[in-house]
Structure 1
Amino acid sequence: MPLGREIDDPGLLASGRVAVRIIRWADAEPLRRLLTDNRSWLQRWEATHPSGRSVVPGSVSMRPMIRTLRRQLRAGSGMPFVILYDGVVVGQLSVSEISGGALQSSQLGYWVSEHVAGRGVTTTAVALVIDHLFSALGLHRVEVCIRPENDPSLRVVEKLGLRREGRRESYIHIDGAWRDHDVFVALRSDASAGYVARVSRD
C-alpha cells in the first residue's frame, strides 16, 4: 500500500557536481531532446509493451509522462526526479512502488545521457535518493532491478555495495521481449553512514 499521503518535495539534493530534484513541467523539452539524442544508447534498456504497441521515447511531448509521475508524488506512491550535472538535466531517476505499512519499501530505476556516462553521475544520484528515502520517508528497503547484460548499471550498484538477492526470470518486457533481471537491495540497517558517504570514499 502507498504511504497514504502526498510526498513532500525535498528540494535540491546535491553532492559535488551532481544533484537531483523533482521533475518539473519545464523539464519536458530537455528530457525529450535527451531521449531523442540518446536513442541508440538507451533503446536496449527501454521498457516496451508485450502487444508490440510502442512509442519512441522523445518523439512526442513528455508532458503526459510528467503529469503521470507528478500524480504518483501526490498519491504517495512514487518520486520522479531529474538528474543534474553542473545544473543541467542529464537524465532521470524514478522511485516507484513506494509502500508503507508493514513493507516500507520502494523500487528505483534510472537513465542518463551517454555524454556523462562513466563519470559517477548515476552512482551519486542513486546514493542521494536512497539516503533521502531512508532518512526522510523512513523506508526500510530500496530495490533496484537490472538486466544482467547491463554492465553500466551493474557498476552503479556494485560501487554502492548493494546486496544481490537473486534473479527474476522474464521479469519486465524490455526492448521487445521478456527479460531476466537481477535484484539488488539497499537496507536502511546497512547504511548507518549513508550511501553518499560511500561514494565520497571512492
Structure 2
Amino acid sequence: MRHGRVGLRVVRMGDAEALRALLQRNRDWLRRWEATHPGGGGAEPGSRSMRPTVRLLRRQLRQGTGVPFVMLYDEELVGQLSVSEVSGGALQSAQIGYWVSEHAAGRGITPAAVALATDYLLDDLGLHRVEICIRPENSASLRVVEKLGLRYEGRRAAYIHIDGAWRDHECFAVTREDVPEGLAARLSRE
C-alpha cells in the first residue's frame, strides 16, 4: 500500500535484522513510549534478534488476530505499525500501535501509514471501528490523530504498562461511517 512517498507492507522474516538495528539506534527516542512487563524482566527492544518477534507477529497474522506492518519512506524501512486485538462478531474492531525512527519523524510518515492501515482494516477486512490509544504526554502521536481527524473518546486510567509504570492513555477512534471516502483520501485533502 502506498500514499505518496510512504509505503506500508506486511512484515517479513527478512525485516528482522533491519528492525533490530533501527530499534537499537532509537533506544533513547522510543523508550518512554514502549510497553514494559509489570513484573520486570524481558529484553530491551533491539538488544536481541527480532526473529522470534517477527515469527510471533506473522503467527498472529495467520490466526487473524493481528496485522504487522513495516513503514517505508522512499522504500527505506523507518518504523513499524501493528494492528492488534482484531475482533469479529458484533464488535468488528481493531487497535493500532506504531513507532517511527527519530530520523524519519516529522515527515508525515505516521499519519499516512495510519491512514493506509485504517483503510485496509475498514475496507479490505470489513471492520467497523479502529482505535488508537496514546499517552497524554506523547504530543507527536496526538498530532497524528489530530491530522487524521479521529474522534476523542476519553481517558483510560492506568491502561498500559509503559516505561516501568501503569500509564494513562487518551483513546481515539474512527468508524467506517466517519470516513466513507477513506482516511487516506481525507488526509490528501488536508
Counterpart of 1:199?
187
Deviations 1:52-104 (A, max 9, x none): 11311111000000010000011011000000000010000000010111000
Q: Pick from 87, 99, 104 the counterpart of residue 75 of structure 2.
A: 87
DSSP 3-state at the match of 2:137: coil
TM-score (norm 1): 0.93
Q: Pick from 18, 24, 28 the counterpart of residue 6 of structure 2.
A: 18
**Structure 2 counterpart of 1:86, one-letter code:** D
DSSP 3-state at the match of 1:57: coil
Q: Identity rate of aligned residues, in percent? A: 67
1:36 and 2:24 equivalent?
Answer: yes
CA distance in 1, matches of 2:40, 2:161: 10
> Number of residue pairs matched?
190
**Structure 2 counterpart of 1:28, one-letter code:** A
CA distance in 1, matches of 2:69, 2:14: 13
**Structure 2 counterpart of 1:62, one-letter code:** M
CA distance in 2, matches of 1:51, 1:140: 35
**Structure 2 counterpart of 1:45, one-letter code:** W
1:122 and 2:110 equivalent?
Answer: yes
1:98 and 2:57 equivalent?
Answer: no
DSSP 3-state at the match of 1:158: helix
TM-align CA RMSD = 0.6
Counterpart of 2:59?
71
CA distance in 2, matches of 1:115, 1:43: 16
**Structure 1 counterpart of 2:135, one-letter code:** R
Residue correspondence of structure 1 range 92-171 to structure 2 within 5 A = 92-171=80-159
Q: Pick from 144, 161, 164 the counterpart of residue 173 of structure 1.
A: 161
Deviations 1:103-126 (A, max 9, x none): 000000000000111110000000
**Structure 2 counterpart of 1:127, one-letter code:** A
> Which consecutive residues of structure 2, in runs of 5 or more, have no partner in the other structure?
none
DSSP 3-state at the match of 1:91: strand
DSSP 3-state at the match of 1:103: coil
Q: Pick from 168, 178, 185 the counterpart of residue 190 of structure 1.
A: 178
Provide runs of 4+ in structure 1 moved above 3 Å.
Answer: none
Q: Pick from 36, 48, 68 the counterpart of residue 48 of structure 1.
A: 36
Shift of 1:201: 1.5
DSSP 3-state at the match of 1:139: coil
TM-score (norm 2): 0.99
CA distance in 2, matches of 1:61, 1:54: 13
Shift of 1:51: 0.7
DSSP 3-state at the match of 2:158: strand
